Amino acid sequence: MNHRYFSKLSSLFAVLAAAIAVSSASAAVPSMSSVEGVLFATAGGAATDGNYSVTFSLYKDELGGNPLWAEGPILIAVKSGQWHHQLGSKSALSATVLNGASLWLGMQIASDPELPRKPLASTIFAVRAAIADGLECTGCVGAAQIDSKFLAGFAKSSDLSPVATSGEFKDLKGGPDLAAYAKTAALAAVATSGNYGDIKNAPDLNAYAKVSALAAIAQSGSYKDIKDGPVVSDVAKTGEYGDLLNKPVLPQLGKACGTNLVMAGIKADGSYQCAASAIAPDLIDEISNNLIFNQFVDSKAGTVDNAIPDGSGAGKSDSLDFPDIGSAQAIWINVALANSDVSKVKIELYGPNMATPYVLYNGEKAGTGFSVAFNKDTALSTGDMNKDWIGKNIKGTWSITVKDPIKNQAGANDGKFSWDVTIQTLSSKKIQVKGSVIVDNDLTVGGNLNVASVNNSILKPFTYRWGRSQGHDNNHGWPMGNSGDYSLGIAPSAWSNGGVIASASADKELWRMTFVNGGRAEVGGALINQVIPQYSDSNMSEHYFFMFRIQNSTLSSINWAPTYWFSCGGNWSDHSSATINGANTWSSSSACYAGNCPAANPTFAVPANRVSTVMFAISSSVGWAPANFYHRLVLLAFTKGSLKLPAGLKYVDDIDTATGGWEQ
Q: Is the pLDDT of residue 404 over 90?
A: yes
CB 540 within 8 A of CB 533: yes
Task: Quote the pLDDT of residue 493.
Answer: 80
pLDDT grade for 573, boundaries at 50, 70 and 90: confident
The CATH 2.60.40 portion of the chain extends over 3-130
CA distance 569 to 537: 9
Collapsing DSSP states into helix, strand and coil, what is residue 185?
A: helix
Q: What does the angle CA 292 – CA 643 – CA 305 come to, to the nearest 5 degrees?
A: 80
CB 462 within 8 A of CB 331: no
Decide which of 440 and 341 is more confident. 341
3-state DSSP of 316-335: EEEEEEECCCCEEEEEEEEE
pLDDT top residue among 228 and 353: 353
For the chain, the C-alpha Rg in angstroms (whole number) is 45
| CB 72 within 8 Å of CB 23 | no
Give this prediction's pTM.
0.39
What is the rounded CA–CA span in Å between residue 388 and residue 202? 73
> How confident is residue 279, by pLDDT bands cut at 50, 70 and 90?
low
Cβ contact 554:646 at 8 Å: no
CA dist 546 and 519 (Å) reads 10
Max mean pLDDT range (166-175, 374-383, 524-533, 596-605): 374-383
**CA 272, 278, 279, 280 torsion: positive or negative?**
negative
Q: Between these two residues, 313 and 273, which has the higher pLDDT value?
A: 313
Domain 3-130 of CATH type 2.60.40: yes
pLDDT at 376: 94
- CA angle, residues 262, 265, 268, in degrees to nearest 5: 135
Q: What is the pLDDT of residues 427-466, one digit of tens each?
A: 777 788 877 778 777 777 666 665 544 444 346 789 999 9
- Quote the CA–CA distance of 518 and 649 in Å, as a whole number: 20
**Is pLDDT above 70 for 36?**
yes
CATH code for residues 460-651: 2.60.120
Q: Residue 479: phi, psi to the nearest 5? A: -70, 150
Return d(Cα 211, Cα 439) in angstroms, integer: 83
48-57, 150-159, 541-550, 597-606 — which is least confidently predicted?
A: 150-159
Does residue 310 sit in helix, strand or coil?
coil
Question: Is residue 55 pLDDT above 90, yes or no?
Answer: yes
CATH 3.30.1330.40 fits 295-426, yes or no: no
- Report the pLDDT averaged over residues 335-363: 96
Per-residue model confidence (pLDDT) at position 403: 96
Number of separate helices (H) and strands (E) present in the chain: 9, 34
What's the mean pLDDT in 388-404?
A: 95
Predicted local distance difference test score (pLDDT) of residue 3: 52
- pLDDT band of residue 222 (cuts 50, 70, 90) is confident
Kindly tell me if the per-residue pLDDT of 64 is higher than 60. Answer: yes
Q: pLDDT tens for residues 615-646?
A: 999 888 876 655 455 677 889 999 999 999 99
CA distance 16 to 34: 8
The angle subtended at Cα 431 by Cα 426 and Cα 435, nearest 5°, is: 130
pLDDT at residue number 15: 30
Q: Is the pLDDT of residue 82 over 50?
A: yes
**Long-range contact list for 175-184, CB < 8 A, 24+ apart?**
none
Average pLDDT of the chain to the nearest whole number? 81
The SS3 assignment for 423 reads strand
Chain centroid, CA 460 distance in Å: 34
Enclosing H/E stretch for 6: strand 3-7
pLDDT tens digits, 11-28? 333 233 323 333 333 345
What confidence score (pLDDT) does residue 309 get?
A: 96
Is the pLDDT at 318 greater than 70, yes or no?
A: yes
Q: State whether residue 363 is helix, strand or coil.
A: coil
